Amino acid sequence: MDLAEKLMYVTVQVRCELEGGGLSQGTGFIFTYSKGNRSLPVLITNKHVVCGASKTRLAIPYVHTENGIDERRSFCITVDGGEAVWVKHPDDSIDLCALPLQSVFDLMLRHDSEAHHVALDESIIPSQAQLDKLSPFENVIMIGYPIGLIDEVHNAPLMRKGMTATHPRYDYNGQSIFLIDCACFPGSSGSPVFLLDNGPYVEDGVLTFGMQRFKFLGVMFSGPVQRATGEVDVIDIPTTQRLIATTVIPTNLGNVIKARKLTELGDVFWKMAESELAE
């Protein structure tokens, strides 16, 4: 598989049954933290996706290899424990959380010993120096499940294309975010946002041919909307579709948490792992 096809295996539709009834839907993606010879696979999404959850339903896509042929399959599981099983970013203002997946992958391997999952990792998070070299106008792709849409036969996400609306170099309004110009609908919360160039591109003022460029820029979480009365608000990308008393007009803009904030979430996991070893 080429890189673009591998990215189709990274995301997982997150469906949470809520304590008060109803269903919250969003996007998660598989991410692996590594330190030395240890690795910690997790599923990352937004805090507001799992807020009030009583249980979480997942259908994790994986690669089954048999006789040299790769086949797309899914492992379905319901995770009990509600919101409490999700580890949250320590900063309340950062809308990120993660679900440990090692026990889920152990069950998946018992179900199918030839299962192989695809994950993102910290090696593809750009440094500030790399962000400084980008153009203010970069093409981006976002992978997820807008309005809950999914290729149910193949358990495959939808891919959307847009561009940066603010320079990824800068922290927009002093926050660890940047904006993209891309249609962001309910279900897009938690979608990973990538820079992926297969053709010529300009970086640091230099035109480059014949090389692929790939960077994990961040995680979609909210977007500005304009109310019919004229006010502009920033709201979480909704996880449920419901009737509301006011009319909002989407701006086709989305707020993206910079990928570097995932490292801080990883620090929480490593501290938890060290505590378990000490006991």
Tell me the pLDDT tens digit for each residue of 79-93: 999 999 999 999 999
Predicted confidence band of residue 78 (pLDDT cuts 50, 70, 90): very high
Q: Which residue has the tokens 């790399």?
A: 130
pLDDT of residue 244: 42
The strand pairing partners of 16, in sequence order, are: 24, 56
- pLDDT tens by residue, 225-251: 666 555 555 555 545 544 344 455 567
Asked whether the CA dihedral 41, 45, 48, 52 is positive or negative, the reply is negative
DSSP SS3 for 111: helix
* 95, HSE (Cβ side, Cα atoms, 13 Å): 23
pLDDT for 208 equals 67
Which of 140-149, 233-242, 257-266, 267-276 has the weakest average pLDDT? Answer: 233-242
Taking each continuous run of H as one helix and of E as one strand, the counts in the chain are: 5, 19
Tokens 């090692």 sit on residue: 102
Q: 39-53 burial by CB neighbour count: b if 16+ within 10 A, else e?
A: ebbbbbbbbbbbbeb
Tell me, what's the pLDDT at 242? Answer: 42
Relative to beta strand 53-66, strand 38-45 is: unpaired
pLDDT of residue 277: 67
The DSSP element (H or E) to which 197 belongs, if any, is strand 192-197
| Predicted pLDDT of residue 224 | 73
What confidence category does residue 218 fall into, taking pLDDT thresholds of 50, 70 and 90?
very high
Does the pLDDT value for residue 11 go beyond 80?
Answer: yes
Task: Please give the residue that has the higher pLDDT: either 109 or 69.
Answer: 109
On the question of pLDDT at 270 being above 70, the answer is yes
Alpha carbons 55 and 40: distance in angstroms, whole number:
22
- Report yes or no: 140 and 163 within 8 Å, Cβ to Cβ: yes
DSSP 217-228: EEEEEEEEEEET
pLDDT score of 274: 82
Evaluate whether 158 touches 146 at the Cβ level (below 8 Å): yes
